[in-house]
């Protein structure tokens, strides 16, 4: 099937404004008759629930944490992009649009990216109005820093906790609506199924994580803002609870999964210390503004204390390879370059899996106080984890899974191929193409939540009669029975291996064979091993306790079971895409280490349709057209 | 990885199956722990052993494991988050302990935080305080340009100092009165310092402190235990600021 993203046509500058006018409206008095479910309360979900509630819709919001304020958007450190051009350094909506299309290695839709760049400025204004304490100068003006993949300073920040402050802004707006009664908040709930009636999304089945009870919620539209799936690698920068489950359940109910192989490996994370490790910690990309990345030129120097390695014996490989962007090369490129140096035997630290991020020159130039002022909390975090002082000794960094550009397929209105199912933020695939630029995730989450869904959902709801399906409908009963049966199955197996052991194993396979570099051979290995591991899981997993209580193993068992299915799709997508682009690097397709795209055969969105358990999924394509940005080889040299 | 020294520790952990169960301490042994384990990774290891022997693992709240989501919440040897300066449980590392140590682990204990299970408590009272006024009543869209109101750096910085709160509740757990004054004071102050929040400052402080009382939190009697326990180092001066805002609201 050829998919249609229903993007508006005509001059790109007018697309969003024209589309907004063309969208149907719901009369203010009728809005409260429509129920909207929002799953996830991060930047996208929190902003959406707050904005839709304020418009007058009857909103129900869900999160698995104990409070909507804890969604993983909170961990974003460095900043949020906007095309304000406050520094007068040549930025514009067009440039942000251009950089994002190019940064995504020409695998995103032009119209969606244009809209993102256009509303980026509104986001900053909105957050300031909420009381987000962005960094400012002494005169009181908003301050900017630069980030990877751009040559202008367009990144707004709140110390090293920008995600936290933006999320607390969205959470405060959401709290105001909860108080006003327009949003009902359900915390400690995990969505375990999408309920579809006659091809239309009508609600969700959730597990109350405290009591274990299954609950049914019906609505006129369902918005998934359920984040990304890089915990499929087991070790990642994501929170422990981040999973593919909500998206995967929707996929199994018919929603197409687009470009799952586009995964972002972030170049600067604290290297793994041991096998027991449960997660990896990111160090903001903003550190590359003042930190220089290097490894020893000579293998023999790798074991030495960094201060004993002479300047001439250091290889500042990013500055050498990409002189115009230097240490601010985009993430996919910086990560691959780090791997390349380590594979060459010039990595540092345990196992040779690390590169130095060195602040010595900046400290000499600006003084330690300025560096502390800019990144103090990051240095503190680094020291807590590694017991090393980053001011005195270069930090050790290694790439780690961080973000998923792929996600559920949506059209320009953020609606999936299932009518009534909308997907927002990292959970959809729409704007980052094959690689996301730094400080763009926060921008997308808030753009979708504050400024896109409030318009586009109205266009859909205006065409449907409210309240057609109630939670006592047969499909809800069936969904609850199916989910309960699955839970009981986990509990009944009583095997020998824990859920974590399985997750570590599948994550290991994914990192080894489908991580920063992939080959036909490595992917085919995974397509053999993953189904076998899945089979073992269903025979040998051990989950204690019962389903009628707070049971964290049971929660993780469900998430792991979904990862064991989803990981296969990810590998299949990576195998079919015989090209390298952005975060998807197939070793067979390269030009001296640089990704080699194949625009003749692969300039499309690959969206997969679920065909049943252990059946081969079907690929649908949405061709990508570039009318405004010339398709070119991406160069940061 | 390079480290070969391992520790064996005795854990004395609060176990409580349900909200109304009496609960009790149970003793466990943590083996093969290295200095690089985080405290929660040490508990993960203990839990894996428990599951293998068919026992229910210790239940605890956690999520981001990088000190920012505010989900983790354990009192370790009597100190919320374990007593390391500006550190959440998830960022506490085992290098702070030594081989043979006995470690007591308990949930947050406060009237306003009922226990749900083991080390997990219900902190929804903190959400209620924010819902009572921890926001500016701006609408989505239709706001002024971000540079329309100038906020000099020292003012923005002070607001940020207050805004860093992660809402974990350690301040309440550390306070002998179970008071949420530091949590509430931080939000009241952030919004009272910034020009955007000044218009509603009087109503905000009244509503938020009223809700604080209704939720069963105690009052402040200047112990400063909250500041000592706070993983973000929120200063008690924000409690003083809230008190001033409260007094101002009476004559506003």
In a domain, B160, yes or no: yes
Tell me the pLDDT tens digit for each residue of B180-222: 999 999 999 999 999 999 999 999 999 999 999 999 999 999 9
CB within 8 A of A615, min separation 6: which ones? none
* One domain, residues B84 and B21: yes
Residues A163, A275, A265, CA angle at the centre, nearest 5°?
40
pLDDT tens figures, A571-595: 999 999 999 999 999 999 999 888 9
Residue B139 lies in a domain: yes
Residues B238 and B135 in one domain: yes
Q: Return the residue of A nearest to B19 by Cα.
A: A210
How many Cα atoms within 13 Å fall on the side-chain side of residue A462? 13
Q: Are A262 and A228 in contact (CB under 8 A)?
A: no
Residues B181, B106: one domain?
no
Q: Measured in Å, how far apart are chain A's first and last C-alpha atoms?
A: 39
Contact between residue A332 and residue A107 where contact means Cβ atoms under 8 Å apart: no
Taking CB atoms and an 8 Å limit, are A69 and B138 in contact across chains?
Answer: no
pLDDT band at A26 (very low <50, low <70, confident <90, very high): very high
Which residue among A401, A420, A454 closes a domain? A401
Q: Is residue B54 within 8 Å of A553, Cβ to Cβ?
A: no
> Which among A367, A401, A435 is the end of a domain?
A401
Tens-place pLDDT, residues A405-460: 999 999 999 999 999 999 999 999 999 999 999 999 999 999 999 999 999 999 99
A175 neighbors B127 (Cβ within 8 angstroms): yes
- CB-CB: which of A124, A210, A501 is closest to B146? A124
Residue A210 per-residue DSSP state: T
Question: Most A CBs within 10 Å: which of B92, B122, B130, B166, as the mutation test of the A interface?
Answer: B130
First CA to last CA across chain B, in angstroms?
62
- pLDDT at site A592: 86
Residue of chain A whose Cα is closest to the Cα of B65: A239
Q: Quick one: chain A helix, strand, coil %, rounded to 5?
A: 45, 15, 40
Whether residues B243 and B131 fall in one domain: yes
Nearest-by-CA chain A residue for B40? A278
Q: Is A402 on the interface with B (CB under 8 A)?
A: no
Cβ separation B156–A176 shorter than 8 A = no
Q: Which residue has the tokens 């409210």?
A: A466
Cβ distance of B146 and A241 shorter than 8 Å:
no
Mark whether A345 and A384 lie in a shared domain: yes
Q: Which residues contact residue A10 at a Cβ distance below 8 angstroms, ignoring those fewer than 6 apart?
A: A18
Give one DSSP letter per residue of B2-28, joined into a string: -----EEEEEEEEE-SSTTS--EEEEE
Q: Which residue has the tokens 């299954």?
A: A214
Q: Which residue of B has its CA nearest to A274?
A: B1
Q: Are residues A372 and A409 in the same domain?
A: no
A175 in B contact zone (CB under 8 Å): yes
3-state secondary structure of A140: coil
- A350 and A428 share one domain: no
pLDDT in tens, B83-136: 999 999 999 999 999 999 999 999 999 999 999 999 999 999 999 999 999 999
Contact check, Cβ <8 Å, B64/A385: no
Of A402 and A1, more confident = A402
A59, A207, A424, A490 from A216: Cα distances, Å: 15, 9, 22, 21
Task: Report residue B122 CA to chain centroid gap.
Answer: 12
Contact B62, B90 (CB under 8 A): yes
This complex has an ipTM of 0.98
A253 and A350, same domain (yes or no): no
Residue B46 lies in a domain: yes
Q: How many CA atoms lie within 13 A of B140 on its CB side?
A: 29
Test B141 with A126 for CB contact under 8 angstroms.
yes
Residue whose C-alpha is closest to residue A338's, from A296, A294, A385: A294
Nearest chain B residue to A127 by CA distance is: B146
Same domain, A305 and A384: yes
Would the CA dihedral through B36, A556, A249, A55 be positive or negative? negative
User: Which chain B residues have a beta carbon less than 8 Å from that of A273?
Assistant: 1, 36
Q: Count CB pairs under 8 A between chains A and B.
A: 224
Beta-carbon contacts of residue A152 (< 8 Å; ≥ 6 apart)? A85, A87, A89, A90, A91, A95, A146
Give the pLDDT confidence score for residue A377 in this predicted structure. 85
- Are the C-beta atoms of residues A414 and A422 closer than 8 Å to each other? yes
Q: Are A153 and A282 members of one domain?
A: no
The reply to whether residue B87 touches residue A498, judged by beta carbons under 8 angstroms, is no
Number of domains in chain B: 2
What percent of chain B has pLDDT above 70? 98
| pLDDT tens digits along A304-314 | 999 999 999 99
Which H or E element spans position A358?
strand A355-358
**Same domain, yes or no, for B28 and B147?**
no
**Pair (B107, B128) in one structural domain:** no
- Examine residue A395 and state whether it is found in any structural domain, yes or no: yes
Residue B51 to residue A498, Cβ atoms within 8 A: yes
What are the E-state strand segments in B37-176? 75-76, 79-80, 102-106, 115-117, 120-121
Measured between CA atoms, the residue of chain A closest to residue B151 is A140
Contacts 24+ apart (CB under 8 A), A366-369: A366/A290
Q: How far is B150 from chain A (nearest CA, A)?
A: 4
Q: Yes or no: say if A26 and A462 are a contact pair by the CB < 8 Å rule.
A: yes
**pLDDT(B252) > 80:** no
Last residue of a domain, one of B116, B131, B149: B116
Please check whether residues A4 and A83 belong to one and the same domain. yes
CATH number at residue A390: 3.90.700.10
User: To 5 degrees, how large is the angle CA B61–CA B67–CA B68?
Assistant: 90
CB atoms closer than 10 angstroms to residue A94? 16
β-pair type (B75-76, B79-80): antiparallel
User: Token pair 């102050």 is at which residue?
Assistant: B189
Domain membership flag for residue B89: yes
Q: Does A182 touch chain B (CB under 8 A)?
A: no
Query: Closest to B37 (Cβ–Cβ): which among A54, A172, A276?
Result: A276
Rounded average pLDDT over B147-157: 97
For residue B90, give the CATH number of its domain. Answer: 3.10.20.30
State how far the Cα of B25 lies from the Cα of B13, in Å rounded to an integer. Answer: 5
Tell me, yes or no, whether A581 and A510 share the same domain: yes
Q: Which tokens is A455 given?
A: 């318009």
Residues 413-452 of A with CB under 8 A from B: 450-451
DSSP assignment of A43-99 equals: HHHHHHHHHHHHHT-EEEEE-SSSSGGGSGGGG--S-EE----TT-SS--HHHHHHH
Residue B4 pLDDT level (bands cut at 50, 70, 90): low
Q: Is the pLDDT of residue A542 over 90?
A: yes
B237 conformational bin, left if phi > 0, alpha if psi -120 to 50, beta if neither: alpha
Per-residue pLDDT, B2: 44
Is A546 found in the same domain as A411?
yes
Q: Does B3 score more than 70 pLDDT? A: no
A129, A140, A171 ranked by CB distance to B151: nearest: A140
Residues of B with Cβ-Cβ distance to A138 under 8 angstroms: 152-154
Number of domains in chain A: 2
Whole-angstrom Cα Rg for chain A = 24
- Residue A128: closest C-alpha in chain B: B146
Q: What is the pLDDT of residue A323?
A: 94
> Smallest Cβ distance to B143: which of A65, A129, A277?
A129
Same domain, B107 and B183: no
Answer for the pair A60, A219: CB distance below 8 angstroms, yes or no: yes
Percent of chain B with pLDDT over 90: 97
Mean per-residue pLDDT, A115-123: 98
Facing A136 at nearest CB: one of B1, B116, B152: B152
Known active-site residue A534: no
Query: B68 and A172 in contact by Cβ < 8 A?
Result: no
Judging contacts by C-beta atoms under 8 Å, the chain A residues touching residue B127 are 67-69, 175, 178, 185
Q: Assign A619 to helix, strand or coil.
A: strand
pLDDT value, residue A1: 86
Q: Per the residue annotation, which of A70, A154, A314, A331 is the catalytic one?
A: A331
Tally Cβ neighbours within 10 Å of residue B95. 14
What range defines the domain where residue B79 resides? 7-116
Tell which of A401, A429, A461 closes a domain.
Answer: A401
Contacts of A198 (CB under 8 A, 6+ apart): none
Identify the pLDDT of residue B50.
97
Residue labelled with tokens 């997907």: A423
Q: Stretch A243-251: mean pLDDT, rounded? A: 98
Residue whose C-alpha is closest to residue A413's, from A404, A402, A424: A424
Tell whether A351 is within 8 A of chain B (Cβ): yes
Residue B95 falls within a domain, yes or no? yes
Collapsing DSSP to helix, strand or coil, B66 comes out as: coil
Residues A414 and A393 in one domain: no
* Residues B152, A140: C-beta atoms closer than 8 Å: yes
Same domain, A374 and A298: yes
- In this prediction, residue B1 carries a pLDDT of 42
Query: Residues 204-263, chain A: which have Cβ within 8 Å of B?
Result: 210, 237, 239-241
Are B55 and B162 part of one and the same domain? no
| Chain A residues in contact with B55 (beta carbon < 8 A) | 544
Domain check: are B17 and B95 in the same one?
Answer: yes
Closest to A344 measured CA to CA, from A312, A296, A277, A393: A296
**Three-state secondary structure readout of B83-97:** CCCCCCHHHCEHHHC
What is the tens place of the pLDDT at every residue in A487-540?
Answer: 999 999 999 999 999 999 999 999 999 999 999 999 999 999 999 999 999 999
Residue tagged 């409070």 (tokens): A67
**For the purposes of burial, counting CB atoms within 10 Å of the CB of A209, is it exposed (0-12), middle (13-18) or buried (19 or more)?**
buried
Query: Around A245, how many Cα atoms within 13 Å sit in the side-chain half-sphere?
Result: 24
> Among B81, B116, B151, where does a domain finish?
B116
Q: Which of A132, A138, A281 sits opposite B152 (nearest CB)?
A: A138
Q: What is the CATH number of the domain that holds A521?
A: 3.50.50.60
Of A138, A172, A553, the CB nearest to B57: A553
Same domain, B100 and B189: no
Task: Indicate whether B2 belongs to any domain.
Answer: no
In a domain, A635, yes or no: no
- The C-alpha angle with vertex A96 and arms to A90 and A98, in degrees rounded to 5, equals 105
| Helices A499-514/A520-540 angle, 10° precision | 170
Instruction: Give the A window 87-126 contacts with B, CB below 8 Å.
Output: 122, 124-126
- Determine the average pLDDT of the residues in B12-30: 97
Spell out which residues of chain B touch residue A74, defining contact as CB-CB under 8 Å: 64, 68-69
| Co-location of A380 and A488 in the same domain | no
CB distance A165–B163 less than 8 Å? yes
pLDDT at residue number A403: 98
A135 contacts B156? CB cut-off 8 A: yes
Distance CA A558, CA A491 (A): 11
Which residues 8-67 of chain A have a CB within 8 Å of chain B? 47, 50-51, 54, 65-67
3-state DSSP call for residue A184?
strand
Per the confidence metrics, is the pTM higher than 0.95?
A: yes
Say if A493 is an interface residue toward chain B (CB within 8 Å): no
CA B30 to chain centroid: 26
| Strand partners of residue A315 | A295
Q: B209 CA to chain A: closest CA distance, Å?
A: 16
Judge if B150 and B235 occupy the same domain.
Answer: yes
pLDDT of residue A159 exceeding 60, the answer is yes
Report the number of secondary-structure helices (H) and strands (E) in chain A: 18, 21
The pLDDT of residue B129: 98
- Tell me the chain A residues in contact with residue B89 when contact means C-beta distances shorter than 8 Å: none
DSSP label of A32: T
In a domain, A636, yes or no: no
The average confidence (pLDDT) of chain B is 96
Spatial distance between the Cα atoms of A291 and A301, rounded to a whole number of angstroms: 21
Q: Which among A46, A346, A318, A268 has a CA at the least distance from the CA of A168?
A: A46
What is the SS3 string spanning A539-598? HHECCCCCCCCCCHHHHHHHHHHHHHHHHHHHHHHHHHCCCCECCECECCCEECCEECCC
B61: chain A residues, CB-CB within 8 Å: 66
- The three-class DSSP label of residue A486 is helix
Domain span including residue A193: 1-262+405-630
Which of A69, A119, A303 is best to mutate for the B interface (most B CBs within 10 A)?
A69
- B139 & B102 share domain: no
Single out the residue in B59, B85, B116 at which a domain terminates.
B116
Please list every residue in chain A whose beta carbon sits closer than 8 Å to the beta carbon of residue B34: 274, 276
Q: Do B194 and A187 touch (CB under 8 A)?
A: no
């Amino acid at each position: 099937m050829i998919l249609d993203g229903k993007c508006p046509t005509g001059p790109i500058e007018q697309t969003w404004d024209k589309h907004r006018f063309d969208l149907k409206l719901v009369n203010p008095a009728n809005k409260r008759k429509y129920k909207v479910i929002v799953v996830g309360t991060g930047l996208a979900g929190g902003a959406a629930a707050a904005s839709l509630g304020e418009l007058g819709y009857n909103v129900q919001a869900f999160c698995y944490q104990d409070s909507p304020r804890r969604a993983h958007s909170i961990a974003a450190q460095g900043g949020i992009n906007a095309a304000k051009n406050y520094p007068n350094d040549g930025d514009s909506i067009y440039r942000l649009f251009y950089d994002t299309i190019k940064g995504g290695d020409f695998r995103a839709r032009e119209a969606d990216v244009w809209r993102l760049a256009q509303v980026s400025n509104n986001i900053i204004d909105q957050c300031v109005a909420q009381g987000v304490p962005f960094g400012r100068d002494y005169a009181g003006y908003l301050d900017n820093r630069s980030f990877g993949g751009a040559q202008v300073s367009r990144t707004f920040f709140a110390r090293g906790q920008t995600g936290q402050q933006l999320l607390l802004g969205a959470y405060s707006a959401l709290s105001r609506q909860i108080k006003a009664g327009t949003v009902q908040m359900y915390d400690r709930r995990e969505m375990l199924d999408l309920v579809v009636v006659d091809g239309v999304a009508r609600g969700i089945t959730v597990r109350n994580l405290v009591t274990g009870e299954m609950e049914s919620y019906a609505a006129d539209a369902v918005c998934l803002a359920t984040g990304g799936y890089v915990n499929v690698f087991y070790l990642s920068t994501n929170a422990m609870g981040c999973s593919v489950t909500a998206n995967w359940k929707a996929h199994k109910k018919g929603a197409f999964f687009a470009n799952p192989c586009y995964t972002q490996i972030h170049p600067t994370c604290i290297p793994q210390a041991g096998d027991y490790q449960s997660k990896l910690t990111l160090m903001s990309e903003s550190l590359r503004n003042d930190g220089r990345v290097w490894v020893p030129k000579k293998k023999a120097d790798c074991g030495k204390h960094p201060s004993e390695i002479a300047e001439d014996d250091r290889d500042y490989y990013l500055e050498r390879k990409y002189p115009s962007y230097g240490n601010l090369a985009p993430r996919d490129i910086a990560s691959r370059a780090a791997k390349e140096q380590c594979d060459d035997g010039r990595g540092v630290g345990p196992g040779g899996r690390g590169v130095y991020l060195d602040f010595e020159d900046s400290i000499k130039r600006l003084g330690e106080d300025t560096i502390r002022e800019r990144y103090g909390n990051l240095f503190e975090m680094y020291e807590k984890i590694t017991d090393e002082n980053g001011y005195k000794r270069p930090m050790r960094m290694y790439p780690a899974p961080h973000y998923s550009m792929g996600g559920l397929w949506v059209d320009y209105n953020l609606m999936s191929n299932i009518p009534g199912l909308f997907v927002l933020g990292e959970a959809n695939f729409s704007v980052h193409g094959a690689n996301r630029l730094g400080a763009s995730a926060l921008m997308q989450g808030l753009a979708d939540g504050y400024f896109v869904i409030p318009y586009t959902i109205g266009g859909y709801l205006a065409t449907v009669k409210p309240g057609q399906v109630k939670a006592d409908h047969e499909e809800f009963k069936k969904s609850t029975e199916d989910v309960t049966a699955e839970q009981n199955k986990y509990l009944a197996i009583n095997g020998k291996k824990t859920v974590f052991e399985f997750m570590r194993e599948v994550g290991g396979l994914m990192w080894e064979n489908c991580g920063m570099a992939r080959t036909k051979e490595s992917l085919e290995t995974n397509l053999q091993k993953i189904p076998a591991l899945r089979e073992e899981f269903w025979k040998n997993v051990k989950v204690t306790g019962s389903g009628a209580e707070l049971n964290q193993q049971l929660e993780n068992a469900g998430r792991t079971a979904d990862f064991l299915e989803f990981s296969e799709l990810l590998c299949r997508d990576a195998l079919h895409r015989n090209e390298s682009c952005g975060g998807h690097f197939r070793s067979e397709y390269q030009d001296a280490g640089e990704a080699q795209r194949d625009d003749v055969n692969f300039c499309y969105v690959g969206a997969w349709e679920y065909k049943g358990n252990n059946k081969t999924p079907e690929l649908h394509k949405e061709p990508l057209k570039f009318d405004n940005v010339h398709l070119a080889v991406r160069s940061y040299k | 990885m390079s480290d070969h020294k391992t520790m064996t520790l005795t854990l004395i952990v609060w176990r409580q199956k349900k909200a109304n169960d009496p609960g009790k301490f149970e003793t466990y042994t943590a083996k093969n722990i290295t200095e690089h384990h985080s405290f929660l990774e040490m508990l993960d290891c203990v839990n894996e052993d428990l599951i293998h022997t068919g026992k229910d693992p210790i239940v605890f709240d956690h999520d981001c494991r990088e000190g920012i989501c505010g989900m983790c919440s354990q009192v370790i040897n009597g100190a919320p988050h374990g007593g390391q300066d500006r550190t959440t449980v998830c960022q506490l590392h085992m290098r702070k302990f030594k081989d043979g140590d006995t470690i007591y682990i308990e949930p947050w204990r406060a009237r306003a935080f009922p226990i749900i299970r083991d080390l997990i408590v219900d902190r929804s009272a903190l959400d209620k305080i924010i819902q009572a006024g921890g926001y500016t009543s701006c609408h989505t869209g239709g706001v002024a340009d971000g540079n329309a109101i100038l906020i000099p750096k020292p003012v923005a910085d002070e607001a940020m100092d207050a805004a860093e709160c992660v809402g974990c509740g350690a301040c309440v757990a550390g306070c002998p009165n179970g008071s949420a004054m530091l949590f509430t004071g931080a939000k009241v102050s952030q919004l009272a310092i910034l020009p955007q929040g000044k218009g509603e400052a009087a109503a905000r402080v009244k509503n938020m402190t009223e809700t604080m009382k209704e939720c069963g939190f105690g009052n402040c009697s200047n112990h400063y235990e909250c500041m000592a326990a706070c993983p973000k180092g929120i200063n008690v001066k924000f409690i003083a600021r809230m008190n001033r805002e409260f007094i101002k609201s009476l004559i506003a």
